[in-house]
Structure 1
């Protein structure tokens, strides 16, 4: 398990190094995740080996939301000033993301020759 956690953190570190050396706008952890995905595609047996550790880490994922909740409570007075615009931005971006995702799936399916199952 320690080796697998080291593997996850190693890919994150590698991503950070690449992002900083090449001055990329993409966050280092995202680059690391992409590199880990490439490893898992090239060597599928690695996925089977790290599955237990990844499942255990994901079971504690909800703990990562605690700092965000603490930040909201800490800056609650500022939230009263920017709460409405923030809520509008969150709602609008969520609607746009869902729309963009559904259109992407629709056009990719069409490009792959799958029939369009959109209700008429």
Structure 2
């Protein structure tokens, strides 16, 4: 029953994100609206982490499984994609490296910031 309640909370927030996407005509996916809403609800303790943690962990664990339908669809679109495969591969590798670099630099910045905040002020 706990998992049904947690999934219901996540699904309700996702539904609210879909409704916002319908009314706010910005090029932002509805899932991003849902993630922002969930983040705000967690930060304000309206939704406690225990209210969604187990189901959230389950959904993260099965995430690779969710990519299978998209990958299968790509195999059926090979005739349309074969003329642009090289730009797709170059873009994929370039954006992957950009994301890796940005993530690494962000992590370095956060770690440096944490070290500074934990240092004792000796004067």
Length-normalised TM-score, structure 1: 0.77
Secondary structure at the aligned position of 1:37 is classed as helix
| Distance of 1:89 and 1:45 partners within structure 2 | 38
Q: 2:93 aligns to what?
A: 91
Q: 1:7 aligns to what?
A: 9
2:30 matches 1:17: no
The C-alpha deviation readout for 1:64-105, integer Å capped at 9, x for no partner, is 111111112101233322111100011111122222333444
The C-alpha deviation readout for 1:2-51, integer Å capped at 9, x for no partner, is 22212111111111222221212221111111111111122187211322
| Distance of 1:108 and 1:55 partners within structure 2 | 24
Shift of 1:56: 2.2
Q: How many residues align?
A: 114
**2:21–2:28 CA contact under 8 A, matched in 1:** yes
Q: 1:50 aligns to what?
A: 52
Say what the alpha-carbon RMSD is for the aligned residues. 2.4
**2:13–2:38 CA contact under 8 A, matched in 1:** yes
With over 3 angstroms needed to count, the CA separation of the structure-2 counterparts of 1:107 and 1:60, relative to structure 1, is closer
With over 3 angstroms needed to count, the CA separation of the structure-2 counterparts of 1:46 and 1:107, relative to structure 1, is closer
Please point out which of 43, 59, 62 is paired with 2:61. Answer: 59
Please point out which of 17, 25, 28 is paired with 1:26. Answer: 28
Provide structure 1 residue ranges, at least 5 long, that are not aligned to the other structure: 116-120
Deviates more, 1:89-98 or 1:73-82: 73-82
Length-normalised TM-score, structure 2: 0.75
Provide structure 2 residue ranges, at least 5 long, that are not aligned to the other structure: 117-123
